[in-house]
């Protein structure tokens, strides 16, 4: 079980062993299932763009087809998250912590909602680990209008997928040897996307002590 979970946190393993199908499932899970917050969405999308150009036979799809499928998976993931949050409603806030669910993750996401509003958060959240998993769930729990939710869901998904995958796709064209340094790129991306989360976490901790 733990070996399988380790593979799911490794972008290379996901594509190498699961191909396009597992790639799309992971994107769906990270954006729609609260158990998916630990999955490597950003790195996976970046890697997919790189491999689509560097090893086209690995995913068996061209770049535009890849972008469409990944965007669709991200949109459907958020729809599932919205439905889950709407079904659970207020019970979500009294749910006990478990291995895959932490109330602190909800608090971090709620902070973004309070600061930026629901619509902007649904777009910004796409680029932030944890928040992108819980943003649609909270949107459902507070009963955001579904049509409005879908508009920002699609815009956010397209922006997220297109920006990261295109960086990977065009980066490997300019620097073919980049595939030998993926580990450093992944680490840098994890650090950059985690900074806002740590800032909110520390801010909330400080506020609770006062």
DSSP 9: T
pTM of the model: 0.80
Return the pLDDT at 112. 72
Question: What are the φ/ψ torsions at residue 185 (nearest 5 degrees)?
Answer: -65, -40
Do the Cβ atoms of 178 and 172 come closer than 8 Å?
yes
Domain positions in the chain are: 2-209
Taking Cα atoms as reference points, which of 123, 124, 122 lies closest to residue 135? Answer: 122
Q: Quickly state the pLDDT bin for 56 (edges 50, 70, 90).
A: confident
Please report the sign of the dihedral spanned by the C-alpha atoms of residue 130, residue 91, residue 29, residue 132.
negative
Return the pLDDT at 199. 63
Angle between helices 41-54 and 11-32 (to 10 degrees): 130
Which of 16-25, 72-81, 97-106, 113-122 is least confident? Answer: 97-106
C-alpha to C-alpha distance for 164 and 56, rounded to whole angstroms: 17
pLDDT: is 17 or 207 the higher one? Answer: 17
170: enclosing H helix or E strand: helix 146-174
């Amino acid at each position: 079980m733990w070996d399988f979970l380790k593979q799911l946190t490794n972008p290379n393993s996901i594509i190498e062993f699961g191909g396009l199908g597992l790639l799309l499932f992971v994107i769906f899970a990270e954006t729609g299932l609260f158990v998916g917050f630990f999955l490597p969405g950003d790195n996976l999308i970046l890697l997919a763009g790189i491999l689509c150009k560097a090893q086209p036979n690995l995913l068996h799809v061209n770049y535009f087809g890849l972008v469409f499928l990944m965007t669709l998976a991200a949109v459907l993931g958020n729809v599932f998250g919205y439905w889950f949050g709407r079904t659970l409603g207020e019970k979500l806030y009294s749910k006990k912590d478990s291995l895959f669910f932490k109330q602190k993750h909800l608090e971090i996401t709620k902070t973004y909602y309070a600061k930026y509003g629901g619509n902007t958060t649904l777009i910004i959240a796409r680029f932030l680990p944890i928040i992108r998993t819980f943003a649609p769930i909270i949107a459902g729990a507070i009963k955001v209008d579904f049509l409005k939710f879908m508009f920002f869901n699609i815009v956010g998904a397209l922006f997220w997928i297109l920006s990261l995958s295109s960086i990977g796709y065009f980066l490997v064209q300019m620097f073919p040897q980049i595939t030998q340094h993926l580990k450093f790129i992944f680490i840098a991306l994890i650090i950059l996307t985690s900074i806002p989360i740590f800032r909110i976490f520390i801010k909330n901790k400080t506020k609770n002590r006062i």
